[in-house]
Amino acid sequence: MNELELKYGCNPNQKPSKIFMKDNGELPIKVLNGKPGYINFLDAFNSWQLVKELKAATGLPAAASFKHVSPAGAAVATELSDTLKKIYFVDDLKLSPLASAYAKARGADRMSSYGDWAALSDICDAETATLLKREVSDGIIAPGYTDEALEILKSKKKGNYPIVQIDPDYVPAEKEYKDVFGITFEQGRNELKIDDEMLSNMVTENKSLTDEAKRDLKIALITLKYTQSNSVCYAKNGQAIGVGAGQQSRIHCTRLAGNKADIWYLRQHPKVLGLQFVDNIRRPDRDNTIDVYISEDHDDVLAEGVWQQFFKVKPEILSAEEKKEWLKTFSGVSLGSDAFFPFGDNIERAKRSGVEFIAQPGGSIRDDNVIDTCNKYGIAMCFTGIRLFHH
């Protein structure tokens, strides 16, 4: 099969729609269940490239959670602490390494991962399928599925959950084409390999990168390679914890991703961990309630006559001062940027979210100011010399 007809394109009025091989070769995918759409396949092919590269760069099973052609989260398999299991709501499950990777990928930004496209670097096992079954998701791509996993996933969405299998040995053509306004663009594929060598040009006084930092910087940069630009990614513990995608200015990327990283860390605050939800609360409602409780809009869920909808017991307010003090303990975070930082204000904002390690291309006329700002805080920064724009 070298083409697959789709229901419609990005929007219902955009017909006809299909995916196909220009060289009349075979499509490298099989649809095992459901009917993936145009945007589903855009997410599927971008997310598959991401997890495949994460696996190659780290040697660990990898997973991603995609929304609108950018990752809400990406991660590799590392052991989860009891706290992380709790904030990812998987403390009641048996987790394989692959399931742990997906729990982390989805847990980075559970609000944004609602209705995600999931990608796995390895054959989907029953543990990962069981985790995914109870989440709101629009589909999955993986190089294969165990019989048990396939049976579990086919039960989602009343039997209509899109399941795509991709040939892991598929190698795309060296050139890519894209039509915009009836005009065809051509470019060479971005085959750039992100590895430890790319992190070797240390430009700050602190030239120390831990093995964990190197792993997390590679995760951040590979995530950015498949994130709509401009983009910045914070990473810690083998996962992205904040992705800022598609912003017009670098500082807005840094702020957006930093705010997401802060929420990730604030969810580990004892007051948040101690929230007692009503028994019948839906998972998306619980995730939304946590974000509102952490934010300055907490009155929306703690007002009299309202909190009973969500909580068994009315929680204490998590004050601005308590949040500030908690965030002061945030540390060991790695930060990647898909293009150079033009001003030191990005470093100032990154420092507030526990950033200690940075990888960015360099090349700004104000590189000296950015380096000096890093030196002020003892941050270790390397220049990769490589831009990672993705459009």
pLDDT digits (tens, 9 = 90+) for 293-308: 999 888 899 998 899 9
For domain 3-171, the CATH architecture is 3-Layer(aba) Sandwich (3.40)
Domain with CATH 3.40.140.20 in the chain: 3-171, 176-266+327-383
Residue at token pair 């401009």: 230
Class of domain 270-317 as given by CATH: mainly alpha
CATH 3.40.140.20 corresponds to the domain 176-266+327-383? yes
On the question of pLDDT at 356 being above 90, the answer is: yes
Judge whether 68 counts as a catalytic residue: yes
* Percent of the chain at pLDDT exceeding 70: 100
DSSP letter (8 states) at residue 307: G
The reply to whether the predicted model has a pTM over 0.85 is: yes
Q: Which of 33, 40, 46, 230 is catalytic?
A: 230
Residue 383: what pLDDT?
98
Judge whether 67 counts as a catalytic residue: yes
Question: In this structure, what token pair is assigned to residue 166?
Answer: 């991709």
Judge whether 390 counts as a catalytic residue: no
pLDDT digits (tens, 9 = 90+) for 81-124: 999 999 999 999 999 999 999 999 999 999 999 999 999 999 99
Judge whether 230 counts as a catalytic residue: yes
On the question of pLDDT at 24 being above 90, the answer is: no
> Average of pLDDT values for 163-183?
95
Domain with CATH 1.10.287 in the chain: 270-317
